[in-house]
């Protein structure tokens, strides 16, 4: 039993889709969230830069006395999970492995589509994880960079979102895949639009949901769940623009965010 919070970080606001799942699946756990809003997006940056940023985020969360860390960003998980696990004496999980495991369970045709940022798609991280589980699987990758700004604008239910999704997805829809991983934090907010285009024969996999499930298992295995009767607490930190984070974040979480504090991430 351990009542310390879980540390969660992302390049910005998107990791709140993972926070939302943790809140639902692990209501007893407190959370400290850091969104690197000054340096978002990570999806267009090099592996070296994203790894340096991730390590700074982790050092900040360690200062907050967390008991485990979730890299709630596909790009950061793809670039830096392995090196973070080697460098810090702390349980750390990312979103790629849980998403890959679920996709392998879902596919019957052994054909999986992966959509994400340019960084995630070019990293090869999902292929690596999927092939460890089943190397007969054929993987189709597609970077959908415009999805992030569309969601950040709150335009997920607009004609712009539908047209953009059609442009990106028509080409992979008829390639025989029966599972599609929404391998970017923002994409679950476009789930309805993506599902409409892909049709009901292609199952959508949400790594945010799977990550909360994996976190639950990990806390149980390490026996560090919070079993105290006290109500869980949620703290939010960003590296820039707390007002925008609060406004857009409430849309992601579908609940009020009472307070957001700005910190200087370059100090870490």
Q: Which residue has the tokens 């929404």?
A: 182
Q: For the CB of residue 109, give the shortest distance to ligand DGL in the complex, in Å.
A: 26
| Residues found near ligand DGL in the complex (CB under 6 A) | 10-12, 14, 40-43, 73-75, 116-117, 120, 148, 184-186
State the nearest-atom distance from the C-beta of 40 to ligand DGL, in Å: 5
Q: Which one, 5 or 15, has the nearer CB to ligand DGL?
A: 15
Is the separation of the CB atoms in 32 and 233 below 8 Å?
no
R_g over Cα of the chain: 18
Q: Name 200's Cβ contacts closer than 8 Å, sequence gap at least 6.
A: none
In whole angstroms, how close is the CB of 136 to ligand DGL at the nearest point? Answer: 27
Structure tokens at 236: 């939010």
227 in Cβ contact with 205 (< 8 Å): no
102 vs 117 by CB, closer to ligand DGL: 117
The tokens of 140 are what? 């189709």
Identified catalytic residue from 57, 73, 104, 144? 73
Q: Which DSSP state fits 187?
A: G
184 is catalytic: yes
- 152 Cβ contact partners less than 8 Å away, ≥ 6 residues apart: 12, 13, 186, 248
Nearer to ligand DGL, 61 or 226 (CB): 61
End-to-end CA distance of the chain: 29
**Which C-beta is closer to ligand DGL: that of 5 or that of 12?**
12
Closest separation in Å from C-beta 186 to ligand DGL: 6
Which of 57, 104, 144, 184 is an active site residue? 184
SS3 assignment, position 35? strand
Euclidean distance between CA atoms 37 and 240, whole angstroms: 5
Cα–Cα distance measured from residue 128 to residue 52, given in angstroms and rounded to the nearest whole number: 22
Q: Which is nearer to ligand DGL, 29 or 152 (CB)?
A: 152
CB 206 within 8 A of CB 140: no
* Closer Cβ to ligand DGL, 48 or 65, answer by number: 48
Least distance to ligand DGL from the beta carbon of 129, Å? 15
Catalytic site includes residue 144: no
| Residue sitting closest to ligand DGL (CB) | 43
CB of 58 to ligand DGL, least distance (A): 16
Q: 17 by DSSP, 3-state: which? A: helix
Active site residues: 73, 184
């Amino acid at each position: 039993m351990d009542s310390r919070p879980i540390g969660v970080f992302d390049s910005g606001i998107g990791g709140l889709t993972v926070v939302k799942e943790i809140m639902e699946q692990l209501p007893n756990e407190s959370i400290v969230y850091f969104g690197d809003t000054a340096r978002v997006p990570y999806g267009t940056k090099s592996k070296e830069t994203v790894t340096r940023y991730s390590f700074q985020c982790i050092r900040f969360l360690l200062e907050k006395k967390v008991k485990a860390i979730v890299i709630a960003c596909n790009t950061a998980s793809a670039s830096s999970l392995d090196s973070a696990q080697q460098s810090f004496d702390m349980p750390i999980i990312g979103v790629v492995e849980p998403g890959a495991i679920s996709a392998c369970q879902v596919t019957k045709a052994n054909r999986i589509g992966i959509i994400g940022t340019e960084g995630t798609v070019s990293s090869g991280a999902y292929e690596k994880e999927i092939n460890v589980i089943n190397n007969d699987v054929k993987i189709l990758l597609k970077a959908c960079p415009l999805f992030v700004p569309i969601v950040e604008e709150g335009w997920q239910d607009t004609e712009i979102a539908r047209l953009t999704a059609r442009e990106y997805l028509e080409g992979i829809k008829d390639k025989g895949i029966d599972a599609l991983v929404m391998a970017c934090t923002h994409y679950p907010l476009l789930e309805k639009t993506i599902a409409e285009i892909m049709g009901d024969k292609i199952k959508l996999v949400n790594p945010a949901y799977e990550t909360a499930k994996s976190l639950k298992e990990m806390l149980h295995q390490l026996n560090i769940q919070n079993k105290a009767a006290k109500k869980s607490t949620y703290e939010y930190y960003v590296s820039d623009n707390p007002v925008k984070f609060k406004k857009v974040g409430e849309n992601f979480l579908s609940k009020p965010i009472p307070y957001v504090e700005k910190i200087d991430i370059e100090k870490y």
